[in-house]
Amino acid sequence: MTQAIQWDIGDDDHPHEECGVVGVWGSPDAAALTALGLHALQHRGQEAAGIVSLAAQGQFHAHKGRGLVGDNFSNAAVIAGLPGHAALGHNRYATTGETALRNVQPLYADFEFGGFAVAHNGNLTNAHVLKRALVRRGCLFQSTTDSEVFIHLIAISLYSTVMDRLIDALKQVQGAYSLVALHNGALLGARDPLGVRPLVLGKLAAGGFVLSSETCGLDIVGAEFVRDVEPGEIVLIDDSGVRSIRPFARPSSPRFCIFEYIYFARPDSIVEGTPVYDTRKRIGAELARESGVAADVIVPVPDSGVPAAMGYASEAGIPFELGIIRNHYVGRTFIEPTDQIRNLGVKLKHSANRSMIAGKRVVLVDDSIVRGTTSRKIVEMVRQAGATEVHMRISSPPTTHSCFYGIDTPERAKLLAANHDVAEMAKIIGADSLAFISLDGLYRALGRDGRDPAAPAYCDACFTGDYAIPLLDQQDPSERPLPLLQVANR
């Protein structure tokens, strides 16, 4: 008898965010509020979740597990086991393989100054280089996540205060990061000097503060949005309030991740002062202006393509219909993944609404194409439902380069747009036509005149190959000198 195995049907035509972070200070329900915040940020990571809380006398408590937030924190006894006035939490998206429990954040360590926990969203581009140097120095790594580099750099620092040790660590790492950290005296939040990854600050009505990857994490706990944590800033939150520390110079041109607007952020979030939902509708409208085509109906590829499709339909004057219905209750299947079943996998997640498609010229609107396999199956499904023409419109420019700043994208050789022009891509996915929004069009939808190559307003490396932060770990190992770890005493 053949045993059925767990098979992830995946969604390989979209990049995946790696993490969401939440921190709460000054509430007796800190762990429960953190769990709620993680629920709101579930879209940023579905492989594992963890919470660390801080109780009286500096006692830390932790609970971590594989799976969704609800799988791990729906039990009242679990929340009761996380007492205290402060907590931080983390949702993880595993980039490769199984999520080992040792990699589930927040990470925790005992230092001479007491306990310290950290949760990190993003990627360090010199993590491997630093890890080699730290291991040579005698550090023992307990996980394979680059977030543990922070722990060891803090451990070897000879600065006297926790804040100075954290600054010492941040000045040695390169990459994109938003992190929240917790020790006996304070909750800390930090963003990388270019502000690639998001982090916002909110205030609870009953007192206390919240840090979250997105404003939707504030909304769910009733916290008032205060402001974005600025690029290169550290916020220190304790019983006296919020203080700002700026160990890095203010960037002349921050490089916030442009894909947050296109896909990653939840539609009801406000990102860098801009409502995501409105932005996606403007992107769709710009896409219609650039690449309109005669059609009878505009159909989004749910759910991420919905706002852009609405904007496209409004600008084009063509009816918007839900011609594809998404099954929201599909994660993994235990069906034996034969080739035949795997080819049917897309129908577990999407099904054609035949009455809205049959006999019509259809424009499908989606946010991205990565490998192209899912797009091909969706186009085929819409044709089988009776569409006379199928045109695909994408609300991002072609994804031609891999991301090394915290987004899970395949290596460049597996990116469809890196190896084929648009006409070839249209043929591969089986569409009558295919068009992407232009890079300048995307910038216009974000309120810019276009992209300034000398000083881009966003990180758009996945479209341009313009990597604003050095990719030290991507160099040949023989060409990477080990860094001199900073251990100066103050």
Taking the alpha carbons of 73, 106, 211, 205 in that order, is the dihedral positive or negative?
positive
- How many other CB atoms are found less than 10 A from the CB of residue 447? 10
Task: Give the H or E element holding residue 136.
Answer: helix 127-137
Q: Are the C-beta atoms of residues 338 and 233 closer than 8 Å to each other?
A: no
Q: Which residue type occupies 256?
A: F
Phi, psi dihedrals of residue 78, rounded to the nearest 5°: -65, -45
Rounded to an integer, what distance in angstroms lies between the CA atom of residue 388 and that of residue 3?
A: 42
Rounded to an integer, what distance in angstroms lies between the CA atom of residue 383 and that of residue 377?
A: 10
Q: Which of 70, 29, 24 is nearest to 48 (CA)?
A: 70
The partner residues of 256 in beta bridges, in order of sequence, read 458
Q: Which of 441, 460, 457, 459 is nearest to 284 (CA)?
A: 441
- How many other CB atoms are found less than 10 A from the CB of residue 198? 26
Rounded to an integer, what distance in angstroms lies between the CA atom of residue 86 and that of residue 55?
A: 7
Backbone region of residue 466 per phi and psi (left: phi > 0; alpha: psi in -120 to 50; beta: other values): beta
Q: Which of 287, 320, 330 is nearest to 434 (CA)?
A: 287
The partner residues of 394 in beta bridges, in order of sequence, read 366, 436
Quote the tokens at residue 116: 């310290």
Rounded to an integer, what distance in angstroms lies between the CA atom of residue 412 and that of residue 171?
A: 30
Rounded to an integer, what distance in angstroms lies between the CA atom of residue 133 and that of residue 168?
A: 16
Q: Are the C-beta atoms of residues 64 and 99 closer than 8 Å to each other?
A: no
Rounded to an integer, what distance in angstroms lies between the CA atom of residue 121 and that of residue 54?
A: 21
Phi, psi dihedrals of residue 218, rounded to the nearest 5°: -80, -45
- Annotated catalytic, 216? no
**First-to-last CA distance in the chain?**
67
Which stretches does DSSP call E strand in 371-484?
389-394, 407-408, 433-436, 458-459
Radius of gyration, alpha carbons of the chain: 23
Phi, psi dihedrals of residue 423, rounded to the nearest 5°: -65, -40
Catalytic residue among 19, 139, 216, 462: 19
Catalytic residue set:
19
